[in-house]
Amino acid sequence: MILIDGKKVAAEIRSELKEKITLLKEEGKNVPGLVAIIVGDDPASHIYVSSKGKACLEIGMRTKTEIFDADISEGELLEVIKYYNSNNDYHGILVQLPLPKHINEDLVIETISPRKDVDGFHPVSIGNLVIGKDTFASCTPAGIKELLNRYKIETKGKHVVVVGRSNIVGKPIANIMLQKAEGANSVVTVVHSAAKEISYYSKQADILIAAIGKAEFIKADMVKDGVVVIDVGINRIEDSSKTKGYRIVGDVDFANVSKKASFITPVPGGVGPMTIAMLLSNTFKAYELYGK
């Protein structure tokens, strides 16, 4: 079994981007910029946005965080987004979700210029992904594909089973993997909570992508020998032996499934670190396409 080290790959991506940005600075050129917009005081959201800001600074990317009270009106927030749509110093716009209930998340996402949609959530980005055009792919699915590529895992003609159908992971990774492209070109099955028996499908997987949001849901008897396992789940379970009283596990029973897998991602340290790395990569891509 080979452990897929997301921390290592994410560090490689950041290093590659840093080299490119350093060269831009040496040539006296503008550098890529990412603005993060956060509404309210959700601790997890603030920690996540802070991590993104630190990653930007690490590679020399321009970064800014706009923080607004939870009672900001929808109209005011949309005006902020429109301002950054036309601001040439910032090539990516990230609005941290979730938003307060009085703000329409769909409208907010649709107001972001597709040229600056580095989260890959805009309907234009999703539509381009489905029909196979070059676009901004959602960061977590893009990170999954990058892990498969960098570990030279064969995907052509392989049966990829995606457990979960969210708009953030399940649907986009399914569309990415079925494209007739290098590092994809797979036969894809999406299975979800409506299935009578998920194991019927998961046992068929050459590559299993678990994104169902249930702690250690995928057991060893649900996969075949030699399977490649990508675990997207991040779940807290009680553990009195830990200082915080809990530990983080994935959607896969790692201890037992890893005994049957050829490759597997750990949780934490697998897919998670790739999400921010791909956000930076998408921002650099936006700069190259539209910002020079």
Residues noted as catalytic:
52, 96, 119
Q: Which residue bears the tokens 């950054």?
A: 84
Question: Distance between CA 5 and CA 45 in Å, rounded?
Answer: 25
Distances (CA, A) of 77 to 8, 71, 107, 116, 278: 37, 10, 11, 16, 25
Helices (H), 132-263: 139-150, 170-178, 198-202, 254-257
What is the Cβ-side half-sphere exposure of residue 144, based on CA atoms within 13 angstroms?
A: 29
Residues 6+ apart with CB under 8 A from 155: 148, 177, 183, 184, 185, 186, 207
Q: What's CA 49's distance to the chain center, in Å?
A: 14
